Homo-oligomer: A and B are copies of this chain.
Amino acid sequence: MKTFRKHDFPVSEIRRFLEPGPIVLVSSSFKGERNIMTMGWHMMMGFEPALFACYIWEQNHSFELVRRSRQCVINLPTADLVDTVVAIGNYSGADLAADTDKFASFGLTPRKASLVQAPLIDQCHSSFECRLHDGSQVGRHNLFIWEVVKAHVARTPKIPQTLHYRGEGRFMLSGPDISRRRGFKPGML
């Protein structure tokens, strides 16, 4: 699998990659245990601070790692990673042998993050380091509200082709971009 060399990117501009609704891979780390999960239920919630919310089912092995560490990394896989994305989503970290993890099992390369313990994934186009901003809705709604504290983005491709889940094993692939910039008031851009 191809790896991406990523560069610092302004956290206030991450909507470019996350707002269109792609499937992401959530990496986590807690007390020596690492995991990766596939996630599609998320949304932007603010620019500065860069807030991002997501729903994580409490039956996911990652739930406790994320909840207890109060950190994660949101990684953006490109469309060619679809089979890895599906495999990760269908295999629980709890089922793996004690001496392995999803990085090893699926041939993904962890890379040390700057501000959190959870690792970036080299094979993903972008990685967003998150710290828990508000955990008050985790118990009630499985809802985590994150602040993205650091963003790492590859320079090419500028806009990666992404996967968007529809349920029932079906993905929408992202299509071309179009600009309607001239239709916007300056303050709305």
Whether A177 touches B169, Cβ cut-off 8 Å, given contacts A42-B43, A53-B43, A90-B188, is no
Proximity string of chain A (18-42) to chain B, C-beta cutoff 8 Å, 1 when within and 0 when not: 0111100000000000000000111
Q: In the bound complex, what is the Cα–Cα distance between A13 and B166 (angstroms)?
A: 9
Name which residue of chain B comes closest to A161, CB basis: B175
**Known A-B contacts A137-B137, A173-B177, A174-B174; A166 and B90 likewise in contact (beta carbons under 8 Å):** no
Looking at the complex, which of A79-87, A102-110, A114-122, A123-131 is the stretch in contact with chain B?
Answer: A79-87
- Closest approach, in angstroms, between the C-beta of A186 and any C-beta of chain B? 10
Name the one of B17, B165, B184 contacting A19, with C-beta atoms under 8 angstroms.
Answer: B165
* A interface size (C-beta, 8 A): 56
Number of copies: 2
Q: Which residues in A have some Cβ–Cβ distance to B below 8 Å?
A: 13, 15-17, 19-22, 40-45, 53-55, 82-83, 86-87, 89-90, 134, 137, 140-143, 145, 159, 161, 164-185, 188-189
28 examples of A-B residue contacts, CB within 8 angstroms? A15-B166, A16-B166, A19-B21, A20-B21, A20-B172, A21-B21, A21-B22, A21-B164, A41-B44, A45-B142, A53-B55, A86-B180, A90-B184, A134-B140, A159-B172, A164-B164, A164-B174, A166-B177, A168-B181, A169-B181, A170-B177, A170-B180, A172-B174, A172-B175, A172-B177, A173-B175, A173-B178, A174-B174
Known: A19-B21, A19-B166, A164-B174. 20 other contacts (CB 8 A): A16-B166, A19-B41, A20-B164, A20-B166, A41-B44, A43-B54, A43-B55, A44-B55, A45-B142, A89-B184, A90-B185, A161-B175, A167-B189, A168-B181, A170-B181, A172-B177, A173-B176, A174-B174, A174-B175, A175-B176
